[in-house]
Amino acid sequence: MRCRVFDLAERAVKWAVIGPGLIILLSTGVQSAETDEHFFEARIRPILVQRCEACHSSEKGKTKGGLALDSYAGWQKGGESGPVIVPRNVDESPLIRAIQYHEDGPQMPPEEAGGKLPEQEIALLTEWIARGAHDPRVVQIKRSGMTEAQLHAW
Ligand code: HEC
């Protein structure tokens, strides 16, 4: 009888040590699986929508400089001078030069649209590209008022 009590106590102590460790392991695992998606949705999409899409959106039919920034395909194709983002290569990405307001090349957003972004937003866009520019957005091509997905359903 006594031994069983000790046994149980020992097990309780073991789980008190291992349990929290397991929980931390599991939750960090889940976090890294979600992180790129969440980072894009929470931090990047709102910047692009608020600061760029008035002039760079194929959905809205406005692609200044030939550039759409409302889909992955948009920045892959890029503008008049080719792709504007090179994933994981900040220095080779014209989009970064544009938002840093480099003198050679376009300065984005233009002065009349609010001018240079706050440092924090420049840092976020830079981080996004450095991490691989994860972007789940696909263009919704509308035909006769229906999206591509709705057309396929017919
Ligand atoms: C008020 C309209 C407007 C807004 C807002 C705007 N742009 Fe532009 N963008 C332009 C125009 C116009 C051009 C064509 C080049 C020029 O005239 O400077 C351009 C060109 C560019 C180019 C060069 C494309 C190429 O291949 O030549 C990049 C990159 C770019 N914009 C990025 C952005 C980003 C990123 C944002 C948001 C942070 C943004 N722009 C917001 C109007 C805008």
Is the CB of 64 inside a 6 Å radius of any atom of ligand 1?
yes
Is the CB of 97 inside a 6 Å radius of any atom of ligand 1?
no
Q: Residue with the nearest Cα to atom 10 of ligand 1?
A: 64
Q: pLDDT digits over 28-85, tens only? A: 555 555 589 999 999 999 999 999 999 999 999 999 999 999 999 999 999 998 999 9
Q: Residue with the nearest Cα to atom 13 of ligand 1?
A: 65
Nearest ligand 1 atom to the CA of 112 is 1
Residue 119 reports pLDDT greater than 80 = yes
The strand pairing partners of 82, in sequence order, are: 79
Is the CB of 74 inside a 6 Å radius of any atom of ligand 1?
no
**CA 126 to mean position of chain CA atoms:** 11
Distance CA 75, CA 105 (A): 17
Average pLDDT over residues 118-137: 97
